[in-house]
């Protein structure tokens, strides 16, 4: 008997017309453009895929980061996040993400030197910073200053040129800590601190943040390593909101500074990079262990979310959260235990047993404990998303480079399902019906 080979295709029958068509399956996906052949009439536009929030749409093929959300697996270029967190450092991980392989000693030395060589910003940047109000959110400043870098480096527009891309990568990874620290010091009214080449990437950042009158700032090695590992854990996370923004904006062919500024803007939102800040606000609001059960009840009643819990992809414990929880204990040994840690541990304990969270597969994510660590290290709350952005820059750059080199990529341009008015004629203002609600609204606006 002849064996029937399974076909790598999907047969779709359109019940409106009774017609069938066969659509190829490649890498476990169909190309939604293939659905366009499904039409009820020759002038029909063809079938679209409708997917708000891209719940089931792959926007690219990628070789950078692998996540299995059900099993709680995260790998950069094939290397498990647990191994990188234990054995690598942030600059080496950045190299891995961007170049695809771990560097040998010589390559790592050159890479580190090149990044160190790009930590200074143009002197005009301080004037630019002066324009921000004293209470400007550092993340808003970071979005603005990264975008402004594109005006200092006109050569960055040459995105098709590999040498130019390499230079912009060094500039971006080199200058982000400087801009991040400047944004903090601006808000504090402190003088800016120049980079110190004797320190590690992360040690230098701590120096630019916290150095006061001492000749040489000596970072606490436990805190320096903890922050470096946190940067590793944040370095990439495949096609999340900010990375998709970098790719979306980058798909227009704009320079990487503008694309990365867009990524920062996306990361600023409370559902993305702002969640670690929101966790601290939540813990403060809860205030004491006694209030935890009532707070959990209010979340279940739909009065708010348990910030730092839940993830679009992880339907299991976020592997980064596991590592961060361990780091939290190491950091608190140095800095003293935050009373909020106990509230967080109790929230986690209850949530992991509670039907509401269990049924929805809501587990702690990367933001649940990271805010507590940042706070213990002395970072103000509004610096938290900035720290997330610093860690994420190599991932954004790796994804941007992959996109620029991908001949299949086109300018990002989703379709829509138009449900608005059909064509209608313009009505002169004198003859339009009065709308009292609108008038009231406009009245308020004028005030
Ligand atoms: N607390 C309480 N309920 C939640 C939470 C939460 N944190 N997250 C999701 N749910 C519920 C939600 O109400 C919904 O319930 P129902 O089915 O009864 O309507 C269900 O779980 C599914 O939620 P969803 O909003 O459809 O899930 P999503 O995949 O669109 O959202 C998320 C993912 C991260 C935006 C969401 O879980 C959330 O808002 N979490 C809190 C904010 C947070 O911690 N964000 C950091 C994400 S990790 C860092 C990053 O990558 O940026």
Summarize the confidence of residues 109-131 as an average pLDDT: 94
The ligand 1 atom at the shortest distance from the C-alpha of residue 318 is 48
The ligand 1 atom at the shortest distance from the C-alpha of residue 368 is 44
**Structure confidence at residue 446 (pLDDT):** 44
Report phi then psi at 271, rounded to 5: -85, -5
Between the CA of 270 and the centroid of ligand 1 the distance, in Å, is 11
Which residue, by CA, sits nearest to atom 9 of ligand 1? 310
Which residue, by CA, sits nearest to atom 10 of ligand 1? 310
63 pLDDT band, cuts 50/70/90, is very high
Same domain, 44 and 84: no
Same domain, 149 and 220: yes
Same domain, 86 and 211: yes
Same domain, 309 and 231: no
Report the distance separating Cα 189 and Cα 212, nearest Å: 12
Do residues 288 and 397 touch, judged by C-beta distance below 8 A?
no
**Structure confidence at residue 440 (pLDDT):** 53
Which residue, by CA, sits nearest to atom 14 of ligand 1? 360
Closest CA to 116 of 183, 13, 199: 199
Q: How many domains does the chain have?
A: 3
**Structure confidence at residue 380 (pLDDT):** 94
| Cα-based angle 323, 325, 328 (whole degrees, multiple of 5) | 110
Does the pLDDT value for residue 2 go beyond 70?
Answer: no
Is 164 part of any domain? Answer: yes
* Tens digit of each residue's pLDDT (9 = 90 or more) over 19-42: 999 999 999 999 999 999 999 999
Between the CA of 137 and the centroid of ligand 1 the distance, in Å, is 25
338 pLDDT band, cuts 50/70/90, is confident
186 pLDDT band, cuts 50/70/90, is very high
The residue whose two tokens read 């903890």 is 226
Does the pLDDT value for residue 199 go beyond 60?
Answer: yes
Which residue, by CA, sits nearest to atom 28 of ligand 1? 312
Report the distance separating Cα 276 and Cα 291, nearest Å: 20
Which residue, by CA, sits nearest to atom 40 of ligand 1? 310
Same domain, 223 and 313: no
Report the distance separating Cα 19 and Cα 364, nearest Å: 47
The ligand 1 atom at the shortest distance from the C-alpha of residue 237 is 51
Report the distance separating Cα 417 and Cα 405, nearest Å: 31
Same domain, 100 and 241: yes
Is 398 part of any domain? Answer: no
**Structure confidence at residue 322 (pLDDT):** 92
The ligand 1 atom at the shortest distance from the C-alpha of residue 309 is 7
| Cα-based angle 360, 366, 367 (whole degrees, multiple of 5) | 95
Does the pLDDT value for residue 12 go beyond 80?
Answer: yes
Which residue, by CA, sits nearest to atom 38 of ligand 1? 310
Between the CA of 269 and the centroid of ligand 1 the distance, in Å, is 14
Is 434 part of any domain? Answer: no
Secondary structure, 3-state, the chain: CCCCCCCCEEEEEECCCCEEEEEECECCECCHHHHHHCCCCCCCCCCCCCCHHHCCCCCCCCCCEEEECCCCEEEECCEEHHHHHHHCCHHHHHHHHHHCCCCCHHHHHHHHHHHHCCCCCCCHHHHHHHCCCCCCCHHHHHHHHHHHHHHHCHHHHCCCCHHHHHHHHHHHHHHHHHHHHHHHHHHHCCCCCCCCCCCCHHHHHHHHHHCCCCCCCCCCHHHHHHHHHHHHHHCCCCCCHHHHHHHHHHCCCCCHHHHHHHHHHHHCCCCCCCHHHHHHHHHHHHCCHHHHHHHHHHHHCCCCCCCCECCCCCCCCCHHHHHHHHHHHHHHHHHCCCHHHHHHHHHHHHHHHCHHHHHCCCCECCHHHHHHHHHHHCCCHHHHHHHHHHHHHHHHHHHHHHHHHCCCCCCCCCCCCCCCCCCCCCCCHHHCCCCHHHHHHHHHHHC
Range of the domain at 243: 72-267
Is 405 part of any domain? Answer: no
Residues with CB under 6 A from ligand 1: 237, 240, 271-273, 275, 299, 305-312, 360, 362, 365-367
Between the CA of 367 and the centroid of ligand 1 the distance, in Å, is 13
The residue whose two tokens read 């992809």 is 313
CATH of the domain at 242: 1.10.580.10
* Tens digit of each residue's pLDDT (9 = 90 or more) over 222-260: 999 999 999 999 999 999 999 999 999 999 999 999 999
Supply the mean pLDDT for the chain.
93
Which residue, by CA, sits nearest to atom 32 of ligand 1? 311
Is 351 part of any domain? Answer: yes
Between the CA of 57 and the centroid of ligand 1 the distance, in Å, is 19
Is 414 part of any domain? Answer: no
Between the CA of 303 and the centroid of ligand 1 the distance, in Å, is 13
Best of 70, 237, 272, 310 for a ligand 1 pocket test (most atoms within 8 Å of beta carbon): 310
Task: Compute CA distances 152 → 125, 138, 142, 181, 257, whole Å.
Answer: 9, 21, 15, 19, 10
Catalytic residue set: 272, 311, 367
The residue whose two tokens read 């820059």 is 393
> Among the three residues 250, 267, 284, which one is the final residue of a domain in this structure?
267
* Tens digit of each residue's pLDDT (9 = 90 or more) over 272-331: 888 888 899 999 999 999 999 999 999 999 999 999 999 988 988 899 999 999 999 999
Same domain, 76 and 225: yes
Does the pLDDT value for residue 445 go beyond 50?
Answer: no
CA atoms within 13 A on the CB side of 343: 23
**Structure confidence at residue 436 (pLDDT):** 62
Same domain, 125 and 32: no
Does the pLDDT value for residue 443 go beyond 60?
Answer: no
Closest CA to 385 of 308, 277, 225: 277
Report the distance separating Cα 169 and Cα 393, nearest Å: 9
Same domain, 246 and 296: no
Is 425 part of any domain? Answer: no
The ligand 1 atom at the shortest distance from the C-alpha of residue 312 is 29
* Tens digit of each residue's pLDDT (9 = 90 or more) over 415-440: 999 999 999 999 999 999 987 655 55
Do residues 138 and 156 touch, judged by C-beta distance below 8 A?
no
**Structure confidence at residue 183 (pLDDT):** 94
Is 431 part of any domain? Answer: no
Same domain, 37 and 113: no
**Structure confidence at residue 303 (pLDDT):** 94
> Among the three residues 221, 251, 267, which one is the final residue of a domain in this structure?
267
Report the distance separating Cα 263 and Cα 234, nearest Å: 14
> Among the three residues 244, 267, 290, which one is the final residue of a domain in this structure?
267
Between the CA of 108 and the centroid of ligand 1 the distance, in Å, is 39
The ligand 1 atom at the shortest distance from the C-alpha of residue 360 is 21
């Amino acid at each position: 008997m002849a064996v029937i080979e399974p076909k790598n295709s999907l047969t779709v029958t359109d019940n409106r017309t009774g017609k069938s068509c066969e659509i190829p399956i490649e890498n476990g996906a169909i190309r939604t453009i293939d659905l366009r052949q499904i039409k009820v009439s020759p002038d029909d536009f063809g079938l679209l895929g409708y997917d708000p929030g891209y719940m089931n749409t792959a926007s690219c093929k990628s070789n950078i980061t692998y996540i299995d959300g059900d099993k709680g697996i995260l790998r950069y270029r094939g290397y498990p996040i647990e191994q990188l967190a234990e054995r690598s450092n942030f600059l080496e991980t950045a190299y891995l993400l961007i170049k695809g392989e771990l560097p040998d000693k010589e390559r790592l030395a050159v890479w580190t030197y090149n990044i160190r060589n790009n930590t200074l910003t143009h002197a005009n940047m301080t004037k630019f910073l002066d324009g921000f109000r004293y209470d400007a959110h550092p993340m808003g400043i970071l979005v603005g200053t990264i975008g402004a870098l594109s005006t200092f480096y006109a050569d960055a527009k040459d995105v098709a040129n590999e040498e130019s891309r390499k230079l912009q990568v060094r500039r971006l990874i080199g200058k982000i800590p400087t801009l991040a620290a400047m944004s903090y010091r601006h808000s504090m009214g402190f003088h800016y601190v120049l980079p110190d080449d004797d320190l590690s990437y992360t040690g230098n950042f701590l120096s630019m943040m916290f150095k006061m009158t001492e000749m040489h700032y000596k970072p606490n090695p436990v805190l320096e390593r903890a922050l470096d590992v946190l940067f590793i854990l944040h370095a990439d996370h495949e096609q999340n909101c900010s990375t998709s923004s970098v790719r979306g904006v980058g798909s227009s062919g704009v320079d990487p500074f503008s694309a990365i500024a867009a990524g920062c803007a996306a990361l600023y939102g409370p559902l993305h990079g702002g969640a670690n800040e929101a966790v601290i606000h939540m813990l403060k609001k809860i205030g004491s262990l006694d209030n935890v059960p009532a707070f959990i009840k209010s979340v279940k009643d739909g009065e708010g979310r348990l910030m730092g819990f839940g993830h679009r992809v992880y339907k299991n414990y976020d592997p980064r959260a596991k590592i961060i929880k361990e780091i939290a204990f190491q950091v608190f040994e140095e800095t003293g235990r935050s009373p909020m840690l106990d509230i967080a541990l109790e929230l986690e304990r209850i949530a992991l047993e509670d039907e509401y969270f269990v049924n929805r597969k809501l587990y702690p994510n990367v933001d649940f404990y990271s805010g507590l660590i940042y706070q213990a290290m002395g970072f103000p709350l509004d610096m938290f998303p900035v720290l997330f952005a610093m860690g994420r820059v190599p991932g954004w750059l790796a994804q941007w480079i992959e996109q620029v080199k991908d001949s299949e990529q086109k300018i990002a341009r989703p379709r829509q399902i138009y449900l608005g008015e059909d064509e209608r004629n313009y009505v002169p203002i004198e003859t339009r019906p009065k709308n009292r609600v609108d008038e009231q609204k406009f009245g308020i606006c004028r005030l």
